[in-house]
Amino acid sequence: MKRDARIDNLRGVLIFLVVLGHLYDTVRFPTSVFQTTLIYSFHVPAFAFVSGVCFKYRGQDDRRALKNLLFPYVVFQLVWYLFFRYVLKTQPDLQFTTPYWTQWYLLSMVFWYAAATLLGTLGPAAEAAVMVVAILSALLVGRDSHVFYLFSASRTIVLFPFFYLGVIFSRHESLRNFCRGIPAKILGLVLAAGAGVYYALKKDAFNNLWLRHVYPYDALGYDWQVRGITLALALGIILFLMAWLPGKKVRLLTWVGQNTMPVFILHGFAVKYLQNKLEWAGYFKQTPLLALPACIGAALVLTLLLSAKPVVWLTRPLMRWPFGRSR
């Protein structure tokens, strides 16, 4: 599938929401919990979906994508260790089995790409069977009290259905055509509105940690039905975004969407520095209403700055396997 501006635009929106959600985590203002819940309800499942759309099957002996994901994971695990130790003055363990903060997504991508490569190209019936198994696994893994952060196992399993849905989407022109049509716009709007109503009605009883896809059910007092509902609502919002986002280039938005990796990799350092060294949350204790525009403004600045050409150029050697030609 050739490059799709709609996907790039979606990536641009999502990376901004990733940065904004992490900034929301650092402050509190009147609507911060509800807005954080809305963002976390779909932005990572949507990113997993987009990653699946961008997956290209090159044969079961292809190692290029895995090396290009493992290399930055290892490099930035080391960078995060140094950052925590020498900038934030904490005492982390140097290890590579439990990802530091946002690093989990790179490790999950390694497993998703490996699984999609092993599965190869399947017919519609086999694709449906894989999706059924993936969904059941996503619902059942929450019953295992031992699956947490190690190797990003829980998130990898829970979000794999969205990744594989993206793989299927990229292979079927009929699905792409459907998302461009009026029925998809109407259905997506209805489902997205329903998701907003659901989270608004449940806001006092809903724990947005459920949406991190890490904790077993018994650790936070929820169950597979809640996970099933939230994953279904995330799918509805993804359909809404796919149907309503423009399918042509939109200057800055498309550019940001084409260069999300530096933003994703680097924004966490800025957020942690703001939170722990500058203690910027303290500035909003007396004026909490300023926190919302401050978070939006900071997220916009970070997103544009870290996707700028000089940053993309400087970080490119760290985003690709540098030793010889990857097969």
Question: 203-242 burial, b if ≥16 CB within 10 A, otherwise e?
Answer: eeebebebbebbbbbeeeebeeebbeebbebbbbbbbbbb
In a domain, 199, yes or no: yes
In a domain, 258, yes or no: yes
Nearest to 303 by CA among 250, 248, 276, 264: 264
Compute the distance between CA of residue 316 and CA of residue 327 in angstroms, rounded to an integer.
Answer: 19
Compute the distance between CA of residue 290 and CA of residue 298 in angstroms, rounded to an integer.
Answer: 12
For residue 288, the enclosing domain spans 5-318
Which residue reads 């525009």 in tokens? 293
The confidence score (pLDDT) of residue 150 equals 86
What are the C-alpha distances in Å from 270 to residues 98, 280, 313? 21, 12, 19
How many other C-beta atoms can be found within 10 angstroms of the C-beta atom of residue 288?
14
pLDDT digits (tens, 9 = 90+) for 203-223: 888 998 999 999 999 999 999
In a domain, 327, yes or no: no
Q: What is the dihedral of CA 104, 109, 111, 117, to 10 degrees?
A: 180
Would you say 275 and 27 are in contact if contact means Cβ atoms under 8 Å apart? no
For 296-304, which contacts have Cβ atoms below 8 Å and span 24 or more sequence positions?
296/20, 298/23, 298/274, 299/16, 299/19, 299/20, 299/23, 300/16, 302/19, 302/263, 302/267, 302/270, 302/271, 303/15, 303/16, 303/19, 303/256, 303/263, 303/267, 304/252, 304/256
Residue 294: partners with Cβ closer than 8 Å, 6 or more residues away = 27, 280, 283, 284
In a domain, 237, yes or no: yes
In a domain, 180, yes or no: yes
Q: List, for the chain, all residue ranges whose pLDDT scores fall below the cut of 50.
A: 326-327
Burial class (CB in 10 A: 0-12, 13-18, 19+), 105: buried
The confidence score (pLDDT) of residue 1 equals 57
The confidence score (pLDDT) of residue 327 equals 46
Count of domains observed in the chain: 1
Compute the distance between CA of residue 3 and CA of residue 53 in angstroms, rounded to an integer.
Answer: 10
The confidence score (pLDDT) of residue 110 equals 94
Compute the distance between CA of residue 112 and CA of residue 164 in angstroms, rounded to an integer.
Answer: 8
The confidence score (pLDDT) of residue 321 equals 84
CA atoms within 13 A on the CB side of 101: 21
Would you say 7 and 247 are in contact if contact means Cβ atoms under 8 Å apart? no
pLDDT digits (tens, 9 = 90+) for 269-311: 999 999 888 778 888 877 778 888 999 999 999 999 999 999 9
What are the C-alpha distances in Å from 144 to residues 40, 214, 223, 264? 22, 11, 12, 30
Largest Cα separation within the chain, whole Å, is 59
Question: Rounded to two decimals, what is the model's pTM?
Answer: 0.94
